[in-house]
Amino acid sequence: MRLLNKLSFSEKLLHTGFIFLVCIGLLAAEAYLYVTHTGLDGKSGVTLKDVQLSYYGDRSSSKLQTVLPAMFTNAGVPKAQWPQLTQTIDHWVAGGQTKAEYETQIKPLIAQHCLMCHSVAMSQQLHNPPLVTYEDVKNVAKVNTGMSYSSMFMGGMVHLTMLGVIFWIAGWLFLQTRVNDQIKAISVLTPFLAMLLDYSGWFLTKQNPNFAWMVLIGGALSCPIAMLEMGVSLLDMWIGLPGFLQQRLISEVPSTTKSTQQPLPT
């Protein structure tokens, strides 16, 4: 294997094309992650809370509860009655949405304030969910439990296979640079470990929001390190390396003479 700076012009072009395209792709992936995760918690930037909301969800509130104020307004319910009605619904959702409580507490409330727009006929006109049966109401009272397992497996299929290949190629190119061996060893391993941390973090965070840090740290160390590897490869290929990254000559000379003198062990 030849060092990157010793490659022919067309070989360098091949690697450069790959690096540019893939780095743009990875930046797009980071941007996608940013726009889909930022602000879920109302703050800008991807925070721990955003990760928790994505994978664990928000189990304190259902769609039904979130839209209640707007729906009370729709229904013309006087403001003075809002707290009591809200409490009735909160109690039912938190208590596991039992059929018995539905019959005595929820059904009359909905019949009085909501059915005028949420009957089967009206819901077809207004494009809103019907709230006629117990199942209908239960359906909108589900709490958000975050990303579904099928999306997580799908995400794993795409992320782990695609990034695995990219990380391998980025690492292989990086190994052909004149960078110091220790930096090489750490750099080529980190994206793989970080990706594992990230992906296992998805499942653990779904169980318990306290694991969200794994997703954040894993995400911060996987693609960015691979991009750094590719950036340094590019630099070494076309221009040269800054001193602190380079393999020191003293350690290089004996190891190369040794390897040319000794026969390979069989």
Considering only the stretches 37-45, 59-67, 148-156, 252-260, report the one whose residues sit in contact with ligand HEC under the rule CB under 6 A. Answer: 59-67
User: In the numeric block, which tokens belong to residue 79?
Assistant: 């403001």
Using CB under 6 A, which of 116, 158, 162, 186 touches ligand HEC?
A: 116
Spatial CA neighbour of 151 closest among 116, 93, 202: 202
Cα angle, residue 228 at apex, residues 222 and 230 outer, rounded to 5°: 105
User: In the numeric block, which tokens belong to residue 184?
Assistant: 């090489």
CB 163 within 8 A of CB 218: no
Q: How near is the Cβ of 123 to ligand HEC at its closest, in Å?
A: 8
Q: How near is the Cβ of 135 to ligand HEC at its closest, in Å?
A: 14
Q: Judged by CB, which is closer to ligand HEC: 82, or 203?
A: 82
Q: Judged by CB, which is closer to ligand HEC: 87, or 161?
A: 87
Using CB under 6 A, which of 22, 23, 51, 64 touches ligand HEC?
A: 64
How far apart, in Å, are the Cα atoms of 127 and each of 16, 53, 118, 120, 124?
Answer: 52, 27, 9, 10, 5
Q: Is 75 in the site for ligand HEC (CB under 6 A)?
A: yes
Considering only the stretches 109-117, 185-193, 215-223, 254-262, report the one whose residues sit in contact with ligand HEC under the rule CB under 6 A. Answer: 109-117
User: In the numeric block, which tokens belong to residue 189?
Assistant: 């391993």
CB 195 within 8 A of CB 159: yes
Q: Is 128 in the site for ligand HEC (CB under 6 A)?
A: yes
The size of the interface with ligand HEC (CB under 6 A), counted in residues, is 16
Q: Which residue has the tokens 């040794």?
A: 258
Q: Which residues have C-beta within 8 Å of that of residue 48, sequence separation ≥ 6?
A: 212, 213, 216
Q: How many CB atoms lie within 10 A of CB 117?
A: 16
Spatial CA neighbour of 205 closest among 130, 145, 265, 127: 145
Considering only the stretches 10-18, 126-134, 146-154, 199-207, report the one whose residues sit in contact with ligand HEC under the rule CB under 6 A. Answer: 126-134
Q: Is 140 in the site for ligand HEC (CB under 6 A)?
A: yes
Using CB under 6 A, which of 74, 98, 200, 247 touches ligand HEC?
A: 74
Q: How near is the Cβ of 56 to ligand HEC at its closest, in Å?
A: 21
Q: Is 67 in the site for ligand HEC (CB under 6 A)?
A: yes
Using CB under 6 A, which of 13, 120, 126, 154 touches ligand HEC?
A: 126
